[in-house]
Amino acid sequence: MALKVGDVLVDNDPRVNGRSVKVIEIGDTQAVCEPETQHEGAKNSRRTIIALARIHDDGKPRKSGFSVRRS
């Protein structure tokens, strides 16, 4: 996986339609992200830690985890 700081991740969960986060830091097993957009019902915006195993960049459709948005 070629995840980089500044990449945008899109939440694949259909319950949070439209949520996307921007990667601000990458560790050995996780990425620290800040909200890029708010989904309906969001209470606040804060940093989120996402396990790298939940980030997919192969283009396959999923209902869980996060996908890297390609420009």
- Taking only the tens place, the pLDDT of each residue in 44-63 is 678 899 999 999 998 888 99
In a domain, 51, yes or no: yes
DSSP bridge partners of 33: 23, 48
> Domain range spanning residue 38?
8-68
* 26: phi then psi, degrees, rounded to nearest 5: -125, 130
In a domain, 24, yes or no: yes
pTM over 0.95: no
Going by C-alpha positions, the residue among 26, 19, 21, 20 that lies closest to residue 5 is 26
* 65: phi then psi, degrees, rounded to nearest 5: 80, -160
In a domain, 1, yes or no: no
Total domains in the chain come to 1
DSSP state at residue 38: P
Q: Is the pLDDT of residue 40 over 70?
A: no
In a domain, 63, yes or no: yes
